[in-house]
Chains A and B, each alone.
Chain A
């Protein structure tokens, strides 16, 4: 199908474009920018007057309890690629399971699913999963999701094996022993409310360990959902010294802090926990300067019952796919960043972390994933209207700017 997206403000961070240009799509790929290719006839024209036309968003952390609802939520949020951690049921440690997940997602024709394969079998942290086979099946990297590898020798071997094939390992920087029993940032709010704390040291100790193991094994390391100022500083330092390490942050950590727990608001329970206001400032700065390469939604739909419990017993996380774009735009506006800089964190930078140069940009030949949004349109967050099976958000009732008007995913208009 030939599609023309007309009169929009084309923002393509990877290629440094921010200009009013038409976009031409043919056979699932970007065909041309600006001038129509010779003999191009559009089967469909999308009028993008006053709207921004950018690469479809890439979300690096999305849980998929139900494929159809969550991938619909992705499209509603302008997200065309979701990275799914391997702690699905069953765990993604068999190539057949990965192939089936990808096929089921493709059959829906919504957002693309790029699975992370299990680093160890059943995520138990003992024996290695069949990484090469999982990669052939479509896994873009290997991860333990939120499960620890308690035996560092096993982790060392797993990293060595991954490095053999130049696979990237994506790990949560959280020492499970220091975080044990904790439910909130070990700070002033936890002290006040009598909540068991997760100290910043749980993150920094883990980063130190993981970075050292990555250096020793030569593996590429991606740290998932960093949460503290000290953590950002350590990653900055490691990158400056040439370590092959990247990291991302969850978008709610750019906007919320421990203070938003108020009096035990279970909707403000996240993993990692919302930390101090100073941590939030460092995460925002780290994302702007590029130490933190990407921002994800950490989309975690929970059943409503999971939040109707005392704070310490409630499920962590909230659905976030629908809020990723407006929350990134809000951060960019407050930080005084260009659209190019801001959108790079959910497009080209994210594609680089995954290792896919055909995604996350709009040069001819790239996969035709496009998001068209009105940057000025404001709307009120109503979790009841989320396509996701998760219907809660600590930001319910807030007014956000940035409304998705149209999405093209793999050349299909949605």
Chain B
């Protein structure tokens, strides 16, 4: 039987040993580093508990539109009976507009986490720019920025936040802005200190001798080495930002149109839930805040133990 000979395929010449780009090598190294850190992190019970709690809340916040009809949160469209204790219909009772507490809490997770994350991004952005500029350029720039940072460290944050929030007006964006403005100084100091040590390392000097500019040095050498140190701090900052938002909301400076957990607490307080005994309106949002803050703090401590070389020995 004649089987048609398969057409002779010209075997491709083996690819010449390509040189991997420097970037590919860097990323491969970073992937390995992250994997190695993850193996250490996974053994940290505290950190894993924190991570688990966080993932649940983040999933809840992301899935909120699928779980809850957003229109039911509009006071005008709410069909429930106000001030109902927990029942089969509303597992955690209802608030003064008859909105289900479960619905409110699920959407509250969205707002509170959003504020926590974006305020942290703002804090880190301002803190990193100021800290790196001060540490990297040194001299007069450092003196000026450092003095500025130290001044901001002594401003009593809550009073400053109250003043800013009441002058700017209570919108979600302003609250995020206020939190970022009042909390960047600690990060800046941390970043500056780390930049100062990284700057003196031989490879930075070598890169500079090879003609690397400031931008290249900062983005390729300083930033990647500062990042691990501030990462743990970042996670702790999210916890603080959520607490700050709650504090501002309790003082009546929250955005009434975006019902965060803090706003729920304020509404229950100002509607007399304490004297009327509407515990289901007051307790659950606070418990959510405690859980999320605790989770972020636990993750932050675990990361600090892994990433902070000073603590690693112990």
Do A and B pair up? The answer is: no
Binding site for B on A (CB under 8 A): none
